């Protein structure tokens, strides 16, 4: 299965340590390969360092790519996380 969706970073401070940690925790039990595509860079979304290296600020466009057995479920969870700023205030 494959899940691909484009989203925008809504967090005031962009993808800093707190949301990056939430993403990695969310993905630690997922069986699929998860990548973020941002500014012509493709990173492994299970790596906190890779997420932080993107230096994605607020309103940065990111494409979520998930491939594997639980792709749909993982993709939907990630989109929901981005929509809700991973629990941070808007």
Q: Which residues are catalytic?
A: 16
For residue 65, the surrounding DSSP H or E stretch is strand 61-67
Rounded CA-CA distance 67/16 in Å is 25
**Cα maximum dimension of the chain:** 33
């Amino acid at each position: 299965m494959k899940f691909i969706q484009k989203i925008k970073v809504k967090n005031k401070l962009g993808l800093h340590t707190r949301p990056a940690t939430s993403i990695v925790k969310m993905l630690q039990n997922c069986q699929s390969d998860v990548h973020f595509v941002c500014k012509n860079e493709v990173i492994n979304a299970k790596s906190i360092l890779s997420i932080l290296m993107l230096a994605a600020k607020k309103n940065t466009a990111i494409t979520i790519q998930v491939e594997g057995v639980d792709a749909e479920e993982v993709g939907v969870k990630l989109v929901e996380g981005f929509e809700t700023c991973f629990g941070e205030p808007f």
